Chain A
């Protein structure tokens, strides 16, 4: 007699619908991590999501929480307005690298510097996905995109911007970590980081920031397997994983 044991079930915060993301895209996985953390922390009922512009613009179709759509790059400013208006709610943004690291650079830096009690989920796949794979501020040197067809060149376009290190350097940031979704081990680490980025908000320590290195097989012109390999072979060497700031662990150390 066999006994069926559930090893996974859909978080109640995640809608049971097909996602519009391309095969091998890891937005769905990142959504799930956020959904699981909201559920485990018991805060889905009071969560307010700030959607952004990019592939994740339809996040409200998948995460079943109150949501407002922000203009391109402005999610941290919108989150500031939401959190100041409703300090008892749990507020988070979900942004891509074009949105956060290019057009929204001022908004994320000042939001972090003010130490807004919000959580920033930042998905870095080194391209503008939704608009068709143009160069992003996070595009790696030599990486070909539709607007740097010969590969990103340091002399003309500069180097990829390391957001986690920059955000960690700001006074209001309570927690900043970079994680990846390419292996089971890394996914587990990623979930811990997302969890922690919400915890510091709940504890009113300051801003929680998680940079998630993620695939974009379509615009990288790779298979999902190749794309996953690119994370460990090309992205992690330039974008090192780890916790760059954690004010709670500093307190622990006294």
Chain B
């Protein structure tokens, strides 16, 4: 029933689950890993009650391949994990990209490399945005900065996955996963599971059989397939989302994504109160990247400081976006430490001081 949206207080992990359920996710395949365990736990309770599918797989590899199977059926399906588990899913993600299968993958990323820690980190930016598996492919990457956004973006992720027949990743972190915030929830109309989408597997019935594959051995066949994929990836450009905060008169623009963008926003607000002309550009889609808006801001002779919770990854994309007119400074908060708005103040002032 449409009407006033209901507001609930939930963790980011639960918001992801509720969003997925609202979006009509029919199948979820999971495996335990911190800090995303609330997702399989919640869905193991809820999905069977709704007559939907929950499977705890034997590994992240298997979970991602179960996702591939459900995606091949044209059913809305999702898996979730955290950094080390996401590494294991890369093989299936590459196959899904190559076979053009729509699927949603949630990464509540944690500190790395290796086993790292179970705290927040943005160390998986490259893996998410540059195609973490083998071969030349892209996935849409959505980076929530709030629990509300986690809810909204996972719903959007399903729509995008089916619009482009492509894997979509929701890239959060341990902050988004574990933080509780109020969320406005809504009812979403999802297509029925048995719908014939023109490409999905349902059994051939009276039509010719369908084949979903990524193998193209014949002369030039793979080149043709890649040309088609390139065109598709380019067409995703129109899906760019970002938050821009006090950028118009800003001398320096902080570029930060996800929970770090949220924290940097508090820093920007504080510095504004002290009279510093600072703004924030928070990419919400990491692929496609908001390069055009950054390029336009660079033309206005602004300074850029990219802040990330890693050793410097997104800064490469920012530098490419602004390269005709500017460059970007970088401040990397090391994974393993949780940043506060105060931590970003000095790096920002330093850049403004150094450059002036």
Contact = CB atoms under 8 A, between A and B. Distances in A.
Interface of A: 44-48, 50-51, 57, 60, 64-71, 74, 77-86, 89-90, 106-107, 109-110, 114
Given A64-B209, A107-B65, 4 more contacts: A67-B211, A69-B212, A82-B73, A89-B203
Nearest to B98: A69
Contact of A60 (B67, B92, B209): B209
A85 B193 contact: yes
A84 B30 CA distance: 14
Nearest to B94: A71
A110 B62 contact: yes
Given A45-B205, A67-B212, A106 B62 contact: yes
Interface stretch (B51-59, B150-158, B258-266): B51-59
Nearest to B54: A84
- Interface residue SS majority, chain A: helix
Interface in B179-214: 193, 201-206, 208-214
Interface residues of B, number: 41
Contact of A78 (B53, B66, B75, B209): B66
Name which of B77, B92, B99, B206 has the most chain A CB atoms within 10 A of its CB. Answer: B92
Name which of B71, B77, B204 has the most chain A CB atoms within 10 A of its CB. Answer: B204
Given A82-B73, A84-B55, A70 B68 contact: yes
B65 A66 contact: no
B206 A45 contact: yes
Contact of B213 (A46, A60, A77, A81): A60
Given A79-B69, A85-B193, A106 B26 contact: no
Contacts of A79: 69
Interface of B: 26-27, 29, 53, 55, 57-59, 61-63, 65-73, 75, 77, 91-92, 95, 99, 193, 201-206, 208-215
A82 B208 CA distance: 19
Nearest to A47: B203
Nearest to B205: A45
B58 to A, nearest CB: 4
B65 A81 contact: yes
A61 B70 CA distance: 22
Contacts of A74: 61-62, 65, 68, 91-92
Name which of B27, B57, B59, B91 has the most chain A CB atoms within 10 A of its CB. Answer: B57
A86 B194 CA distance: 8
B209 A65 contact: yes
B27 A84 contact: yes
Contacts of A109: 58
Given A67-B212, A69-B214, A78 B68 contact: yes
17 contacts: A47-B203, A48-B201, A66-B211, A68-B72, A69-B211, A69-B213, A70-B65, A70-B68, A71-B68, A71-B95, A74-B61, A74-B62, A78-B72, A80-B66, A81-B73, A84-B66, A114-B55
B209 A85 contact: no
Contacts of B70: 81-82, 84-85
